[in-house]
Amino acid sequence: MTAPLKAVLVLEDGSIIHGNGFGSEKTIKGELVFNTGMTGYQEALTDPSYNGQILMMTYPLIGNYGISPEYSESEKIQAEGFVVRELCDQPSHRLSGMTLDSFLKGHRIPGISGIDTRQLTIKTRQSGTLRAILKTSAGNISASELDILRYEAKMMPSPDKYNLVSEVSCSAPVTLHPENYSGKEGPKILLIDCGTKMNIIRELTQRGCTVIRAPYNTTADEINNIKPDGILVSNGPGDPAHPEIMASVVQTIRAIYEKYPIMGICLGHQILSLAFGAKTYKLKFGHRGANQPVKFFSDNKVYITSQNHGFAVDQNSIPTDIEITALNVNDGTVEAMRHKKLPIFSVQYHPEASPGPWDSKYLFDRFIKEVDSRK
């Protein structure tokens, strides 16, 4: 029988947290963030928006329903590492094909369990998002190793310094036909892939759309040559105002926004705001989970939403031709906006859910209606 792994989580403030290791034996670096969802750990782990981050779940028992291939939101685990209070190694679910531990091992991702994740969440809320190093080892981790890890955690740059979108975007356009495709082409949607979740694609193809999944740096000329009926700018990781993002997809949107109906989701929402001249800023600890309340002004209804972002749009910087249509009930951040004259709208949250509530899937119907009305 293989001996259990030892694990340590070292934070930029010098804190050292010992626990039990699982998954792969490895040392990784990332930004420690927390997710408040009670379920959905597989969808979260495989969400490309977690690239560059160490994901911590606040719910105390993780892994209890195992892993099923149909619930992955990309082809691999995107988070750098995983932090849980208690790991369940005997899952019970009819669709479970493997344990969480085996899933992490297969993707060479380390995890740590047996630590007080709620106390660590409080620390993160108070101090803000922390840079961290997670190390798992079959042997003991010496004091000298811990000193080195503490120094590296203090000196490591924020993942936001890198163009994380380039690491998760597709490399070439791919055409995806609607379900039960019969050769009759429905609306042609160009999906600008900044790190898209698979359920965004499913929501479009289930509505009869042909989806052209294109790299984030696709140019305006290339888009015009494709001649899409509409454009959706996806979710993704990192700083929306990173110089390489500003010079590529933001500039592209500025060049084409008057020609096409456009929808933005999460990072796509922020990219649209930047294209129209607004500014973005980093939140203290972000919104990550499936229970964020969003209030729309049009009907005064509150929708419970799935969210995963560390940046927000500066409300005071939004130009006059853009209307804010919804705010976050908890902290008043911008959650939705629309162009006053053009068929363009965006949401900061995830209407495709996966995981989370389905309350906002109607937004895909609204987008397709906008597209169809202009075909």
Q: Please tell me the distance from the alpha carbon of residue 6 to that of residue 19, in angstroms, as a whole number.
A: 7
Burial category of 334 from C-beta neighbours within 10 Å (exposed 0-12, middle 13-18, buried 19 and up): buried
Active-site residue, 209 included? no
Residue of 287, 309, 339, 350 marked active site = 350
Q: Please tell me the distance from the alpha carbon of residue 17 to that of residue 124, in angstroms, as a whole number.
A: 14
Residue of 266, 287, 309, 339 marked active site = 266
Kindly give, in sequence order, each residue whose CB lies less than 8 Å from that of residue 355, ignoring residues fewer than 6 positions away: 37, 39, 40, 43, 44, 290, 306
Assigned token pair, 212: 């052209």
Active-site residue, 350 included? yes
CA nearest neighbour of 285 among 48, 126, 80, 112: 126
Q: Please tell me the distance from the alpha carbon of residue 17 to that of residue 128, in angstroms, as a whole number.
A: 17
Active-site residue, 107 included? no
CB 347 within 8 A of CB 324: no
Residue type, 114: G
Tallying the residues shown for the chain, one arrives at 375
Phi-psi region at 320: left, alpha or beta (left = phi > 0; alpha = psi -120 to 50): alpha
Residue 31 pairs in a beta bridge with 53, 131
Q: What is the DSSP letter of 268?
A: H
Q: What is the gyration radius of the CA atoms in the chain, in angstroms?
A: 21
Q: Please tell me the distance from the alpha carbon of residue 222 to that of residue 237, in angstroms, as a whole number.
A: 24
CB 52 within 8 A of CB 237: yes
Which residues are marked as active site?
266, 350, 352
